[in-house]
Structures are given as C-alpha cells and as structure tokens.
Structure 1
Amino acid sequence: MDKPVDEEISSAKAVLLGALASGVNSPTWLVLKITFLALGVCLVAMMTLAFSSSDFIIVGHVLLLILISGVLLFLLTNFLAQTGLVTVEQQMEEMGISQKNGKEQSKTD
C-alpha cells in the first residue's frame, strides 16, 4: 500500500512551500506561532531590563513593540480564521510540483 503524501513530505519542505505558495499550511502556521512565542519571551526580557534601568523612554518603546507584535498576531489569527488553512498537497499542485505528476510521468516513460 502507498503511504499518504503527508508522511513523505518533511516539515521543512512543508514550511518552505508555505512560504512560497499562496495560502498557509499547518506546519507553517505552527512555525509562526513558535516564532511569536519566542518574540514574546524576548519582549518580556526586554521589559524587565527596561524597568531595571529606570529609563522610562525605553519602557515606552518596549511597550510599543509589545503592542505592535500583539496586533500583528491578532490580525494573523483573524485572517487565518476567515480564510482557513490549505493542505500541502494543494500548494504542491498549485506550484506544479505535485508528487502524483512525477509518479505518472515515470510510469509513462
């Protein structure tokens, strides 16, 4: 029996396809959420350093960065809720690199 196409595609390839093709697939969305989590950790560290330096101009700038990143995450989440995720296979077919096409071509040769 043939394996499903999902098992044959690595996560790195799925993320690369998600960056190049239209739509967002699940592995790409997972990488984006992990990236925002890392950004949040960095911004919390920056905020603690800004409070310890007692320079309130820096605190204001870090608060602005937190606001910008929060709004970006909110907008991305709402956009994906409205449009939905696409599968990796759909992105591969759109780009013309579907694995089914490669198998069919090798059978006809």
Structure 2
Amino acid sequence: MWVEDVLYGALANGVNKPTILALNAALFGCILSLVALLALSINGAPSLVPHVAFLLFLAVGLLFLINWFIQQVGTVETQDQRKELFGDAADTEPTPALTEPAQASQIGRKQE
C-alpha cells in the first residue's frame, strides 16, 4: 500500500506524505554516503575533499529547498490522487459478499 501511494504521488498532481518520506529517505541516504566518503577521503585522498564537500553542500541544500517548496505548496491526500488517476471508481471500495445466513437474515428483515 505504501509503495502504491508513492507511485500515485509520482504520477498525479501534488505531493502526498508517503512520497515526501521516500524522497527525504533517499536524500538522507545520499547525505550519509557523502559524509562517509568525506571522512574516508580526508585521510586517503585529500585532493577529493573539496569536491566531496561541495557535493555534500549541494545535497543538503537540495534537501532543505525541496522541503521548503513542499511546505509552501502544500500536500495532497492520497485518495484525491487516486480519484484524479482512476476517477470516482477508486473511491468506492468493493463491499464484501454476504454469506448465506447473512443474506437470509437481511431478506427476512426486508419482508417485515
């Protein structure tokens, strides 16, 4: 269900909360890998430090700017995105089939 919500966020207008969480998780992973690369390059290859530091600066800036933009624009509910993609049929959930005793009791109630 969570993956479907992220896909709806990618295909429909607006951004839903699961898509924001997935995007933030990906950006945090990128930042963590760049921090690890920076820590390793300080001792191993000092010539890489300015380049990795600049990439880290870009990744942190991207994280903050994307979250700022989403805060300014707002989020959309996943159900609204489903309606946009699939129409009103996505809003109605299928009703479970009634068992025979339940059908008999409902038929008896209608006749009373």
Structure 1 unaligned segments of length 5 or more: list them: 1-9, 104-109
Structure 2 unaligned segments of length 5 or more: list them: 95-112
- The residue correspondences of 1:12-51 to structure 2 (distance < 5 A) are 12-51=3-42
- In terms of Rg, which structure is larger? 2
**Deviations 1:34-69 (Å, cap 9, x if unpaired)?**
11221121011100111011423x101101101111
| 1:107 corresponds to | none
Q: What is the root-mean-square deviation of aligned Cα atoms in Å?
A: 1.6
| 1:60 corresponds to | 50
| 2:60 corresponds to | 70
Residue among 77, 82, 93 paired with 1:87: 77
TM-score, L = length of structure 1: 0.77
Identify which of structures 1 and 2 has the higher relative contact order when contacts are C-alpha pairs closer than 8 Å and 6+ apart: 1
In the alignment, the residues of structure 2 paired with residue 40 and residue 73 of structure 1 have an alpha-carbon distance, to the nearest angstrom, of: 9
Which amino acid in 2 is paired with 1:44? V
Percent identical pairs in the alignment equals 33
Moved over 2 A (4+): 100-103
Q: Secondary structure at the match of 1:42?
A: helix
For this pair of structures, how many residues does the alignment match?
A: 93
TM-score, L = length of structure 2: 0.75
Which amino acid in 1 is paired with 2:31? G
